[in-house]
Amino acid sequence: MPATVQADVTAIAEHLSSVQEEAPPLACGKAVENARWGVETMLEVGEKNLRGGYMTQAAYDAATPALKALLGILTVQDCEAATGVRRDFYQCMSSDYNHVYACGKAHPFEP
């Protein structure tokens, strides 16, 4: 991979893994919409990468159960009842500028 392309890949990865807006007001509808969209997109990209040969079946099989489990709990009701780090995750996801990966990394919780 050319150095300029690798630099772009690194910059994009750093951006996606960093929280862009630290403390937006909690908005459960927006947070759930943003989080579900992000997880669904990650699953779709994983499927495309698997079909395209960019990801092994083992790597895909290792990543998808956690993402699917997360989709199962990302609801407005869960957000409204959330406390602690789980509430912090939803607050982070209330911003359109934050990626689900960055919020999950900054505020990890078990689904």
> What single DSSP character describes residue 4?
H
- What count of other Cβ atoms lies within 10 Å of the Cβ of residue 46? 17
Q: What is the pLDDT of residue 7?
A: 58
Q: What is the pLDDT of residue 110?
A: 82
Residue 81 pLDDT exceeds 60: yes
- pLDDT-derived band of residue 91, with 50, 70 and 90 as boundaries? very high
DSSP secondary structure of 28-69: HHHHHHHHHHHHHHHHHHHHHHHHHTSS-HHHHHHHHHHHHH
pLDDT tens by residue, 18-75? 676 677 899 999 999 999 999 999 999 999 999 999 999 999 999 999 999 999 999 9
Tokens 């959330």 identify what position? 82
Task: Check whether 11 has a pLDDT greater than 60.
Answer: no
Cα distances (angstroms) measured from residue 21 to each of 47, 77, 99: 29, 23, 10
How many Å apart are CA 104 and CA 106, to the nearest integer? Answer: 6
Domain ranges of the chain: 23-106
CA distance 54 to 61: 14
